[in-house]
A and B are shown apart, each in its own frame.
Chain A
Amino acid sequence: MRPSRLHIPKYHAGPGETPDFSYLELSPAGAVARPDINTRVRDMNGLAFQLVRVLDDDHEAVGPWNPHLEPADLQVGLRHMVLTRAFDDRMQRMQRSGKITFYMRSLGEEAISVSQGMALRPTDMLFPAYRQQGLYMVRGRPVVDLMCQLLSNTRDMCKGRQLPVMYHWRDGNIFSISGNLTTQFPQAVGWAMAAAIKGTDDIAATWIGEGSSAEADFHHAMLFASVYEAPVILNVVNNQWAISTFQGFAGGEHRSFAARGPGFGMAGLRVDGNDFLAVHAVTQWAAERARTGHGPTIIEHVTYRGAAHSTSDDPSRYRPKDDYERWPLGDPVERLKDHLIALGEWSQERHAALVKEMEEHVLASWKEAVTYGTLTESPRLDPHLMFEDVFKEMPEHLKKQDEQLRDERKRG
């Protein structure tokens, strides 16, 4: 008899080793059937194990999930993705030069936030994690506003209270980002339950990484969404990495994250997260299901975290250096660019000009943002803003502490 043994999930490769992505179950572009939105969950369990892809190796859009978007819309999507990347690159450099304390890039994941943002209505409520900055580009928040948040300056939407990247935007229907992982997942379900109680046709969408799916709040969200058939899209961005931890440790080794959907009686879809068209198509499908009372959907986006986890992280200590180059699903910006070129609606020259335009736009925005101050350079936020918004109205004990600080500053 063999004794029991503790199974430790395997990494696909370590530093200095050759990446082996054979663990990924990939489907050819166009191969996955597209069920009607009113299909019963039990009749489409297979979706959770396949991979919805639209763009093929020749950069053509193929199969039943082709969303048939207009070239003009694809160009808008490309623009948002290029802006997101230019913004990320510049902010990374500004962190390295000490202007901001912290940053997190979304390199390689731009198609998910941008394409999903475009597939949803402006009145749909978004509950992002910290790596969906593309949503802000789609909904039109000037990047200078995001920069002011990163700088904690006098124009900071968070009034200096939040770490960089923890944005929010009431008027744009983008919820406040929290440092506590996955908390937004069941909150989005509650928002969607309220939409259903009120009888509106707005839906909620929320995002976590695959690592965060290990939190109890993931289970709460799935359960409440399923029990009440809440109009919500639950997105798991499987970028293979939770800081240094490979996705196997989040439970991805034996089964897809999408497959948790059917386990809760919920539609589950697995999509090529670097395929702008496929992401758009599955989002539209899930949104229509939610909006017409057919219930929630979990979407697993198979993608790759191209950059370090954050500016505080060095991925060369836990994964191969050429991992991203060898990633079989490629780069989302390149793939959409190549598709538009194949359609005759884009060119390398126009692309180079777009990249340059976005870089210049980001640089000009940065120059404006720093005129409102930085964390250390004036103008600076009034520290007494610290005491506001703890409650709607400031209670006596906070007024007293505010007074004490004023007194300290007078003496100091």
Chain B
Amino acid sequence: MAQMNMIQALNSAMDIMLGRDPNVIVLGEDVGFFGGVFRVTDGLQRKYGAHRVIDTPIAEGGIVASAIGMGVNGLRPVAEIQFADYIYPAYDQIVSELARLRYRSAGEFFAPVTIRTPCGGGIRGGQTHSQSPEGVFAHVSGLKVVMPANPYDAKGLLISSIEDDDPVIFFEPKRIYNGPFDGDPNKPAVPWSTHPKGDVPEGYYTVPIGKCEVVREGSDVTLVTYGTMVHVCEAAAQGMGVDAEIIDVRTMVPLDVDTLVTSVKKTGRCVIAHEATRFGGYGGELSATIQEECFWHLEAPIQRVTGWDTPYPHAFEWEYFPGQARVAMALQSVMEADA
């Protein structure tokens, strides 16, 4: 075991996979010589060479398209999009090509591409360094969508994603790259060494895609969340003294419905929390699924705590970000409801 932050854990995952499989290739803007704007690929090009860890032109569509072509030719590309906010130029290649290649060719062609991209707010990133676009990928048939909330999962899930023969969109909440964040920007930063999930095995291991994790067991209410919001929800529930069962979704697609349903049937109450905007967001899918499966067990309407339906603002960040206070209000509301 070693102490790692999320950056080091992700770096370790790629290091291990580059070492294990000569077909693994890392590519993206600034990932090679420089080691990535967030240092996630630091040292990899030095160790594996410029043919394995490749700097690319600033062209997201070209990055994903060339990764698809490489995948078709037997490589296992791990492409980086510098910010999730800049993934849209590649949206056609991801949705029309990467996601559908196996289907449209009846299994004759596929491209085992992993697309890593830093996402989420809480860093004064404004409109184009804060977005959480997981919902627009979860809606696409043929993609797996993953978002870890701690270093241990980040490494294990990234190794699983790279090994997976299906395309994976791998979101990395950049607010928690260096330490967990409970939503209070006025508190001093906390490093991952203070958190049990900052203990990461140095060698190879996997965390399965398609499995939620019950982060905290509880009996009063189920809090379904992922990414940075896992830590915000933990702090909010603790602050209120509510015995909440907190579930880190970890994989948006395919969704582990059983874990969610088992929990909500037990607690009878559910709050869903994510940073992304509400309308058409992934929380709507979670809410609908739980309502369909748990209707007779629900003692209160399901609540969603999300970003507002606005572009992500710079000056109003802490009015926008769904922090502890907003989670607490939703928890109070479902706890007070009387079926």
- Partner of B69 from A157, A176, A194, A198 at Cβ < 8 Å: A194
Any chain A CB within 8 A of the CB of B155?
no
- Which of B56, B71, B108, B257: most chain A CB closer than 10 A? B108
In the complex the two chains form, is A176's CB within 8 Å of B108's CB? Answer: yes
In the complex the two chains form, is A391's CB within 8 Å of B142's CB? Answer: yes
In the complex the two chains form, is A395's CB within 8 Å of B254's CB? Answer: yes
In the complex the two chains form, is A389's CB within 8 Å of B70's CB? Answer: no
The distance from the CB of A138 to the nearest CB of chain B, in whole angstroms, is 19
Residues in A neighbouring B107, C-beta threshold 8 A: 388-389
In the complex the two chains form, is A168's CB within 8 Å of B109's CB? Answer: yes
| A224-B57 contact given A178-B96, A396-B254, A397-B254, CB 8 Å threshold | yes
Q: Which of B97-105, B212-220, B313-321 contacts A (4 or more CB under 8 A)?
A: B97-105
The distance from the CB of B53 to the nearest CB of chain A, in whole angstroms, is 11
Any chain A CB within 8 A of the CB of B85?
no
| A390-B141 contact given A157-B106, A217-B61, CB 8 Å threshold | yes
Residues in A neighbouring B106, C-beta threshold 8 A: 157-159, 161, 389
Residues in A neighbouring B108, C-beta threshold 8 A: 157, 168-170, 176
Residues 136-184 of B at the A interface (beta carbon under 8 Å):
141-142, 144, 165-166
In the complex the two chains form, is B65's CB within 8 Å of A194's CB? Answer: no
| A224-B93 contact given A157-B106, A197-B75, CB 8 Å threshold | no
In the complex the two chains form, is A193's CB within 8 Å of B142's CB? Answer: no
In the complex the two chains form, is A392's CB within 8 Å of B166's CB? Answer: yes
In the complex the two chains form, is A193's CB within 8 Å of B66's CB? Answer: yes
| A183-B70 contact given A176-B101, A216-B61, CB 8 Å threshold | no
The distance from the CB of B256 to the nearest CB of chain A, in whole angstroms, is 9
Instruction: Report the separation of the CA atoms of residues A224 and B89 in the bound assembly, to the nearest whole angstrom.
Output: 16
The distance from the CB of B279 to the nearest CB of chain A, in whole angstroms, is 22
Instruction: Report the separation of the CA atoms of residues A176 and B72 in the bound assembly, to the nearest whole angstrom.
Output: 11
In the complex the two chains form, is A204's CB within 8 Å of B96's CB? Answer: no
Residues in A neighbouring B75, C-beta threshold 8 A: 194, 197-198
Instruction: Report the separation of the CA atoms of residues A392 and B74 in the bound assembly, to the nearest whole angstrom.
Output: 16
Any chain B CB within 8 A of the CB of A278?
no
Any chain A CB within 8 A of the CB of B242?
no
In the complex the two chains form, is B61's CB within 8 Å of A186's CB? Answer: yes
Residues in A neighbouring B144, C-beta threshold 8 A: 391
Residue of B nearest to A170 (CB): B108
Residues in A neighbouring B89, C-beta threshold 8 A: 216
Instruction: Report the separation of the CA atoms of residues A175 and B102 in the bound assembly, to the nearest whole angstrom.
Output: 12
Residues 91-127 of B at the A interface (beta carbon under 8 Å):
92-93, 96-97, 100-110
Instruction: Report the separation of the CA atoms of residues A389 and B89 in the bound assembly, to the nearest whole angstrom.
Output: 26
Instruction: Report the separation of the CA atoms of residues A388 and B142 in the bound assembly, to the nearest whole angstrom.
Output: 11
Any chain B CB within 8 A of the CB of A125?
yes
Any chain A CB within 8 A of the CB of B31?
no
Residue of A nearest to B143 (CB): A391
Residues in A neighbouring B73, C-beta threshold 8 A: 125, 190-191, 194-195, 198
Any chain A CB within 8 A of the CB of B210?
yes
Instruction: Report the separation of the CA atoms of residues A118 and B257 in the bound assembly, to the nearest whole angstrom.
Output: 53
Any chain B CB within 8 A of the CB of A48?
no
| Contact digits for A123-145, partner B, Cβ 8 Å, 1 yes 0 no | 00101000000000000000000
| Contact digits for B222-240, partner A, Cβ 8 Å, 1 yes 0 no | 0000000000000000000
Residues 162-216 of A at the B interface (beta carbon under 8 Å):
162, 166, 168-170, 175-176, 178-180, 183, 185-195, 197-198, 204, 216
Any chain A CB within 8 A of the CB of B78?
no
Instruction: Report the separation of the CA atoms of residues A396 and B25 in the bound assembly, to the nearest whole angstrom.
Output: 31
In the complex the two chains form, is A198's CB within 8 Å of B102's CB? Answer: no
In the complex the two chains form, is A220's CB within 8 Å of B62's CB? Answer: yes
Residues in B neighbouring A195, C-beta threshold 8 A: 73
| A170-B70 contact given A178-B96, A216-B89, A396-B257, CB 8 Å threshold | no
In the complex the two chains form, is B74's CB within 8 Å of A187's CB? Answer: no
- Which of A176, A183, A195: most chain B CB closer than 10 A? A176
In the complex the two chains form, is B109's CB within 8 Å of A170's CB? Answer: yes
Any chain B CB within 8 A of the CB of A37?
no
Instruction: Report the separation of the CA atoms of residues A392 and B93 in the bound assembly, to the nearest whole angstrom.
Output: 19
Any chain A CB within 8 A of the CB of B6?
no
Residues in B neighbouring A127, C-beta threshold 8 A: 69
Residue of A nearest to B209 (CB): A395
Any chain A CB within 8 A of the CB of B39?
no
In the complex the two chains form, is A180's CB within 8 Å of B68's CB? Answer: no
Any chain B CB within 8 A of the CB of A24?
no
In the complex the two chains form, is A166's CB within 8 Å of B103's CB? Answer: no
Instruction: Report the separation of the CA atoms of residues A297 and B146 in the bound assembly, to the nearest whole angstrom.
Output: 39
In the complex the two chains form, is A186's CB within 8 Å of B72's CB? Answer: no
Residues in A neighbouring B93, C-beta threshold 8 A: 183, 186, 217
Instruction: Report the separation of the CA atoms of residues A188 and B59 in the bound assembly, to the nearest whole angstrom.
Output: 16
In the complex the two chains form, is B105's CB within 8 Å of A223's CB? Answer: no
Any chain B CB within 8 A of the CB of A33?
no
In the complex the two chains form, is B210's CB within 8 Å of A190's CB? Answer: no
| A391-B96 contact given A168-B108, A191-B70, A220-B61, CB 8 Å threshold | no
Residues in B neighbouring A224, C-beta threshold 8 A: 56-57, 59, 62, 65-66
Any chain B CB within 8 A of the CB of A227?
yes
Any chain A CB within 8 A of the CB of B10?
no
Residue of B nearest to A220 (CB): B62
Instruction: Report the separation of the CA atoms of residues A220 and B59 in the bound assembly, to the nearest whole angstrom.
Output: 7
> Would you list 26 pairs from A and B whose C-beta atoms are within 8 A, ordered by A residue?
A158-B105, A166-B104, A170-B105, A176-B105, A180-B92, A183-B96, A186-B61, A186-B65, A190-B71, A191-B69, A191-B70, A193-B66, A193-B70, A197-B52, A204-B69, A216-B89, A221-B62, A223-B62, A224-B62, A224-B65, A388-B107, A389-B106, A390-B103, A391-B142, A392-B165, A395-B254
Other contacts beyond A178-B97, A217-B92, A392-B166: 4, CB < 8 A = A176-B101, A186-B65, A190-B67, A216-B89
